[in-house]
Amino acid sequence: MIGIIIINFGNPGRTIRFVREECSKVKGEHRTIVVDNGSGPEALAELQAALGQEAEIIPAGENLGFARGNNLGAEHAIGMGADLLLFVNNDMVFTDADVVDSLAAKLESLPDAGMIGPKVVGLDGKLQSPEPYKSFCQNHLLPYWGKLVYGRKALDAKMQKDYAEKAQAGWHYRIMGSFMMMRAADFTACGGMDPNTFLYSEEAILSERLKRIGRKVWYEPSVQVLHEHGATIISHYGRVRRRRMKLDSDIYYYKNYKGERGLKFAAARLTYALKALFGL
């Protein structure tokens, strides 16, 4: 049985529409779990009234963030008997109606796979998944200072900007966290998502945690979904705050999972402070 786990934060209408229009496409046995991340009593009541017969509504009581919210949903799904877990955003469209069932079958055929995800296409037509491993400097310093050293064309190559467009089915470092499926046993064995992050870096951390139990990440582009990327995040957090949240999560990830150290972290904070100062 597949446990479909969705985080709702302040947008019950979108979540209701997603459950009714997208989760209903899943043919295999499944249960839908909606974790409400402290959206307030009115939003919670709306979810319960609309989806009480279609989903398990779990009130978190506060905004737990992505990792802790999904851990809570996974705990409930496993308690309901789920052997597969699908972590999915409420702003996805299953353009391939059988995407969930196809990925479940593929995952079962890959004993070394700890996580699987489909082709994720943004509204701009660009592919958002998968991604290679990138160092902290590649993510937070090269995009702003690298063109002064390398020039734009060489910088784009160093940043592997066309990675997703060229990616083939197979093993990759990370997939998009907006749609990722795991075995419940692997999720439990690797310790789930790291509760020390609030938002961002969760996919990379899961990749590292899965490595510890001998599992890898599989990208399956034979099926795809459409992603209205960041709709909920953008509506609740401004650009400067999103940058700060991502930087904080990435610093935690690189320190604790990749062993990176040095002045690069301070340099990144200074870079983003300058961008905020000049309204960039």
- Structural domains in the chain, CATH included, are 2-130+167-236 (3.90.550.10), 135-162+238-280 (no CATH)
Nearest of 8, 87, 104, 99 to residue 51 by alpha carbon: 8
Q: How far is CA 277 from CA 20, 205, 234, 274, in A?
A: 44, 31, 20, 5
Each residue of 156-202: pLDDT tens digit?
888 898 999 999 999 999 999 999 999 999 999 999 999 999 999 99
Q: At what angle do helices 202-212 and 65-79 cross, to 10 degrees?
A: 50
Q: Prior bond to 41 cis, omega within 30?
A: no
Length in residues, the chain? 280
Q: Look at residue 66 in the predicted model and tell me its pLDDT.
A: 96
Give the whole-angstrom CA distance, residue 134 versus residue 253: 12
Residues 6+ apart with CB under 8 A from 153: none
Give the whole-angstrom CA distance, residue 57 versus residue 35: 6
Whether the Cβ atoms of residue 173 and residue 131 lie closer than 8 Å to each other: yes
Q: Look at residue 231 in the predicted model and tell me its pLDDT.
A: 55
Q: Considering Cα of 70, then 74, then 75, then 76, what sign does the dihedral take?
A: positive
Give the whole-angstrom CA distance, residue 199 versus residue 225: 22
Tally of CA atoms within 13 A in the half-sphere of 164 that contains its CB: 17
Show the low-confidence residues of the chain (pLDDT under 50): none
Q: How far is CA 86 from CA 67, 83, 177, 238, 267, in A?
A: 14, 10, 10, 28, 37
Give the whole-angstrom CA distance, residue 31 versus residue 1: 7
The strand ranges marked E within the chain are 2-8, 30-36, 56-59, 84-88, 92-93, 113-122, 170-172, 179-183, 216-227
* Strands 170-172, 84-88: pairing kind: unpaired
